[in-house]
A and B are shown apart, each in its own frame.
Chain A
Amino acid sequence: MEMTPITVEGHDTVVKLWAAQCARYGKRTAHREKELGVWQSYSWADYYDHAKRIGLALLKLGVQKGEPVLILAEDRREWLYCDLGAASIGAIPAGVYTTDSAGQLTYLAQDSGARVLFVENDEQLDKFLEARGDMPGLEHVVVLDRDGLATFDDPQVMFFDDFLAMGEAEAKAHPTRFEDTLKTVQPEDPRMLIYTSGTTGPPKGAIITHRNIMFQLEVGPKVLAYNEDDELLCFLPLCHVLERLVSVESPIATGTTVNFAESPETVFDNLQEVSPHSFTGVPRIWEKIYSRVTILRSEAGWIGGKAFDWAFRVGTKRATLLETGKPVGAGLALQHKLADFFVLSNLRRMLGLSRARRVTSGAAPISPELIRWFYALGTPLIEGYGMTEGSGVTTINLPEDNVIGTVGKVVPGMELRISDEGEIQYSGPSVFAGYWNKPEKTAETFTDDGWLRTGDVGRIGNDGSLTITGRIKDIIITAGGKNITPAEIESRLKFSPYISDAVVIGDKRKYLSCLIMIDQENVEKFAQDRQIPFSDFASLTRASEVRELIGEVVRDTNKEFAQVEQIKDFRLIDILLTAEDEELTPTMKLKRSFVEKQHIALIDDMY
């Protein structure tokens, strides 16, 4: 394979670019984080200085080039310090989800062969302590927060400040060691290891090289423009390729400021405080914003409600014209100005979207209706497509050319094709280097002629825009022999504010059925408003009115699908699932295989 160098501002690795940008931006704010409720700023110089000490301390511990280093923490600036510190010495940072159990951590430690693990706090440290016997390869643990561990002492465990001091001493002894090592990192070297959530089988570590990322950084400005003084909000797990790209790699190239959300629970408050210029979320976030506004509407008084409905009617009319490329008449334009001034702009400000030039959605399919709703609100929402093995974004809509319902055109420099079986395949500089220590899995991921198999089914329109219809593995072949891709039905169901996720069942069955996870907040509100008695979550799912409500959504959904795609029966999942549950991915998507296994009784009940 020929390797033409890919450079951004003359640098061919992420770490060289990063070092240069840190030097260039110096005291400018790189990150913001809340401490005791107040936003604090941290500069690019802090970024470099911390990462340097971490890199040197890792070298001191004997970490070699090409050796994975694990990071187990919520999103915070130290995550990035550890990430870049490790990458700069040629080690391979790999994130571990904070919701992972001790058992899952053990698997990652064994699979990666890492010797050093960064953990956020006592809670995460306990996972290591619980399972340390099963991961003898893990030699050192560095704890970021000392809270609750004042008297803790363990030969394998070190605290972050001591670790930094070790790096400082190393810097005094070998003043140029860090920079020298950083320069030896080659474009083909791994930049990071991303463990895929693995809906089937154990997680696999996808190796993403510097070249992969440099390609993403080089192509980035061609599709989505960022300004140096843009504010971003980071809240999705940094272990996931999407957030890593958006909040770590992209800001290195663009110089934007990253604000870290306090916790996954406070995202909406933080969104409002930061009011970012661009914001990347998963469909669940957009669905939540939509249902928040829907509830606000239902609680508004008569006049407020009327004004709201009118503004959205005007917004939708205008958005529809713009979407279909038709001119917006002067009358409608004037109406829209008023609607925007009195209603829509206020809503956007309340939501924290007032400064957003555009927002993006990825990692899961989003309903086209939802995208159109955001356009009506006045916030362009753009859907893109990619996967870990493609190191991020492969296709994306453009703000000025958004074909709603598709995931856009392939980014310049990549090639896309649909195989005879309908599988989406691609090739180009962002295709990953393979799975860590799993050559046979890597081989399975590529076609004979070297294209990446995505496992997704889709079609490419005449204009070049890609439409995803589902996963090959998820294709349901009913007992009648009909092929059905459940994703479209599921995403239509999820558009209801009362449904947070759904899994369509029907493989080798007579007809389709569905397991539904209700949205706790909205369904509780529904029950409360209608005096439907319930005590806990399980009793809520059992209330006949709630079942009737969801039945209504299912019936409405059925109207939009063909005869063979009709959902004949459904059940509600009666436990409130959390990110710790195996049935959910860290981005709160239901995992089909686990759901089918865990709730087999509910499924069998329907046949």
Chain B
Amino acid sequence: MTVLKVRNVETYYGAIMALRGVSIDVEQGEIVTILGANGAGKTTLMKTIAGLMDPEKGNLALMGNDITGLEPDKIVRQGLALVPEGREVFPYLTIDENLRMGAFTRSDSIADDLELVYSYFPILKERAKQSAGYLSGGQQQMLAIGRGLMARPKLMLLDEPSLGLSPLLTQEIFDIIGRLNKEQGVTMLIVEQNAHIALETAHKGYVLEMGRIVMAGPAKELQDSPDIQEFYLGKSDAGERGQKRWKRRKTWR
């Protein structure tokens, strides 16, 4: 089952074309990652999927239903959760309240889900009654992910979950992301600058450059691509001089 279908999406900021025809697929139970440098259009793509921006052209479908141009709240009700870049927790609400906000669109019982989130992020349970503003960056990220989970989404979008986190915390967050996917079957689309960890965790990846997909394939294949290694994984054959300033020309194959 294809959870998310993005077809030929073009999104503009005024006259600036940020997405130049992007098509991607996310299948049930998959972690898909979007790699790309600053300004490649990753966040724009996320915002377009979540309905925060409307595409000029192209269409999007969630679980087979057309969501092009829908308001964000309608899209959330159809089963999409966005874990935004920079976490965006409600600082004056408690952790518990933050998590309950995540389940705002639901009318069924949420007690089990609350327990589930606490089991994955025990630190949140310990500090459940504290204001979210007092959490550390890593804990806020955990809270943001937990809040997303509370909606029991069909698809969770994670925008740069490693932003501002130490390497150790990044590893921890991605371990949990992997476990959530494996144990709970959560389908995820992750935008990430840290290509190394994203490709370790994901099943499939797309490389976005200048608003275009330049490469797509299973994460393993991307990891082995010389272009990905040089431009995203920072591996570079230092050559005879032991240092190299110039970059090879990208071919994306």
Closest to B22 in A: A535
Report Cα–Cα, A376/B241, bound state, in Å.
54
Instruction: Answer yes or no: B38 CB below 8 A from chain A CBs.
Output: no
**A 125-142 to B, binary, CB cutoff 8 A, 1 in contact else 0:** 110011010000000000
Report Cα–Cα, A130/B241, bound state, in Å.
9
Closest to B238 in A: A126
Measured between beta carbons, the chain A residues less than 8 angstroms from B212 are 524
**In the complex, are the beta carbons of B252 and A534 less than 8 A apart?**
no
Given A126-B240, A576-B253, the answer on whether A535 and B213 have CB atoms closer than 8 Å is yes
Instruction: Answer yes or no: A122 CB below 8 A from chain B CBs.
Output: yes
Measured between beta carbons, the chain B residues less than 8 angstroms from A536 are 213-216, 252
Report Cα–Cα, A147/B243, bound state, in Å.
13
Contact residues of B: prevailing secondary structure: strand
**B 12-41 to A, binary, CB cutoff 8 A, 1 in contact else 0:** 000000001111100000000000000000
Q: How large is the interface on A (under 10, 10 to 19, 20 to 34, 35 or more residues)?
A: 20 to 34
Measured between beta carbons, the chain B residues less than 8 angstroms from A539 are 216
Measured between beta carbons, the chain B residues less than 8 angstroms from A122 are 241, 244-246
**A 515-529 to B, binary, CB cutoff 8 A, 1 in contact else 0:** 000000000100110
Measured between beta carbons, the chain B residues less than 8 angstroms from A535 are 22-24, 206, 213, 216
Kindly provide the distance from the CB of A269 to the nearest chain B CB, expressed in whole angstroms: 17
Closest to A99 in B: B249
Q: How large is the interface on B (under 10, 10 to 19, 20 to 34, 35 or more residues)?
A: 20 to 34
A-B CB proximity, top 6 nearest: A148-B245, A129-B240, A123-B246, A533-B23, A528-B21, A535-B213
Instruction: Answer yes or no: B251 CB below 8 A from chain A CBs.
Output: yes
Report Cα–Cα, A274/B206, bound state, in Å.
40
Instruction: Answer yes or no: A531 CB below 8 A from chain B CBs.
Output: yes
Report Cα–Cα, A334/B251, bound state, in Å.
51
Report Cα–Cα, A536/B228, bound state, in Å.
14
- B80-126 CB contacts (< 8 Å) to partner A: none
Measured between beta carbons, the chain A residues less than 8 angstroms from B253 are 538, 575-576
Given A126-B240, A578-B251, the answer on whether A533 and B8 have CB atoms closer than 8 Å is yes
Given A129-B240, A528-B10, A536-B214, the answer on whether A148 and B251 have CB atoms closer than 8 Å is no
Number of A-B contacts (CB under 8 A): 67
**A 553-582 to B, binary, CB cutoff 8 A, 1 in contact else 0:** 000000000000000000000011010100
Report Cα–Cα, A524/B211, bound state, in Å.
13
Kindly provide the distance from the CB of B89 to the nearest chain A CB, expressed in whole angstroms: 34
Q: Which of the residues A123, A129, A533, A538 comes within 8 Å of B7, measured between beta carbons?
A: A533
Kindly provide the distance from the CB of A154 to the nearest chain B CB, expressed in whole angstroms: 9
23 A-B pairs with CB atoms under 8 Å apart are: A122-B246, A126-B239, A126-B240, A129-B240, A524-B21, A524-B212, A527-B8, A528-B57, A531-B7, A531-B8, A531-B58, A534-B21, A534-B23, A535-B206, A535-B213, A536-B213, A536-B214, A537-B214, A539-B216, A575-B251, A576-B252, A578-B249, A580-B251
Given A536-B213, A580-B249, the answer on whether A126 and B20 have CB atoms closer than 8 Å is no
Report Cα–Cα, A534/B214, bound state, in Å.
10
Instruction: Answer yes or no: A121 CB below 8 A from chain B CBs.
Output: yes
Measured between beta carbons, the chain B residues less than 8 angstroms from A538 are 253
Report Cα–Cα, A531/B246, bound state, in Å.
38
Report Cα–Cα, A580/B245, bound state, in Å.
19
Measured between beta carbons, the chain B residues less than 8 angstroms from A533 are 7-8, 23
Closest to A148 in B: B245
**In the complex, are the beta carbons of A121 and B241 less than 8 A apart?**
no
Measured between beta carbons, the chain A residues less than 8 angstroms from B243 are 148
Kindly provide the distance from the CB of A427 to the nearest chain B CB, expressed in whole angstroms: 42
Report Cα–Cα, A130/B239, bound state, in Å.
7
Kindly provide the distance from the CB of B242 to the nearest chain A CB, expressed in whole angstroms: 10
- B200-253 CB contacts (< 8 Å) to partner A: 206, 212-216, 239-241, 243-246, 249, 251-253
Measured between beta carbons, the chain A residues less than 8 angstroms from B10 are 528
